[in-house]
Amino acid sequence: MSGRPGDAAALVAVVGGDGAGKSTLTGLLHRRLTAAGTPARRVDRWDVLAETDYPSAACLRPDERQARSCAARMSTGPRLLFLLWASALALTDRAGGMPGEVVLLDGYWMKHAAAEIAYGADPAWVEAVAAGLPAADLVVHLRVEPELAWARKDGRPLPFECGMDLTCSRSSFLAHQGALLAVLDRWADRHGWLVLDATAPTPVLADQVIAALADRRATMEA
């Protein structure tokens, strides 16, 4: 897939397991970049349900909760294709964009793809399907250990965070998050992602991402 939100846009994907702090970090990055005069916007796959910018997703509105619930009940394979479709649509079908814009991808496809592998999907098939999406210029792996993620969830995770265990037990959460983390770690090592410790203060993490983005953009423009 060749579509990107503007030729000069830099795509920054912040990925990690449940409870890593992806939304918190992308929110702070958006505020920091905007305050510094850098055009920036956040993109999440579920934007396609809430915004009028995506008329082709109107069939799914207006109930985001129901859409998420339906996705959770899908089997491995169809669920991944649905989530990757939403990721691609949210990224490429929205009009607008500004020169030099930074597009912050909250999660992008990586976490869901890793989860499907944890459920038993063929890794080669998952990676081949995901390869059709626009490549991120910078991937930040916000790494969180399952025990810490459990504590951040305050003992109230959702079934999809526990490998679809409806009891949402601690053991199922730790097992699923551990399997997901192993996949993300493998990809981070293979593709040279920026790995950050999720226990660090969010402002420190934002500083590290902005510095890495500056280095990456300088390389792209050289």
User: Domains in the chain, start-ordered, CATH in brackets?
Assistant: 10-221 (3.40.50.300)
Q: What is the pLDDT of residue 142?
A: 97
Cα distance between residue 69 and residue 173, in whole Å: 18
In sequence order, what DSSP letters do the residues of 128-155 get, joined into one string? Answer: HHHTTSPPPSEEEEEE--HHHHHHHTTT
pLDDT at 98 (0 to 100): 67
Token duo for residue 167:
């009891």
Contact 18, 161 (CB under 8 A): yes
Question: What is the rounded distance in angstroms from the CA atom of residue 120 to the CA atom of residue 116?
Answer: 6
- The pLDDT of residue 219 is 73
CA separation, residue 1 to residues 96, 179, 193 (Å) = 19, 29, 21
How far is the C-alpha of 178 from the C-alpha of 18, rounded, in Å? 11
- Whole-number Cα distances in Å, 56 to 53, 71, 93, 208: 9, 18, 9, 37
Q: Measuring CA to CA, which residue among 79, 81, 86 is closest to residue 57?
A: 86
- What confidence tens digit (pLDDT) does each residue in 155-170 have? 788 888 898 888 999 9
Residue 111 and residue 15 in contact, taking contact as beta carbons nearer than 8 Å:
yes
The set of residues, in sequence order, having a beta carbon less than 8 Å from that of 195 and lying 6+ positions away, is: 141, 143, 188
Q: Output the CA torsion sign for 85, 90, 95, 98.
A: negative
Q: Identify whether the C-beta of residue 68 lies closer than 8 Å to the C-beta of residue 158.
A: no
Distance CA 140, CA 10 (A): 13
Q: What is the DSSP letter of 46?
A: T
- Per-residue pLDDT in tens (0 to 9) along the chain, 222 residues: 345 554 557 899 999 999 999 999 999 999 999 999 999 988 877 666 666 666 666 666 656 666 666 777 788 888 888 888 778 777 765 545 566 789 999 888 898 899 889 888 999 999 999 998 888 999 999 999 999 999 999 878 888 889 888 899 999 999 999 999 999 999 999 999 999 999 999 999 999 999 999 888 777 665
| pTM: predicted TM-score of the whole model, two decimal places | 0.82
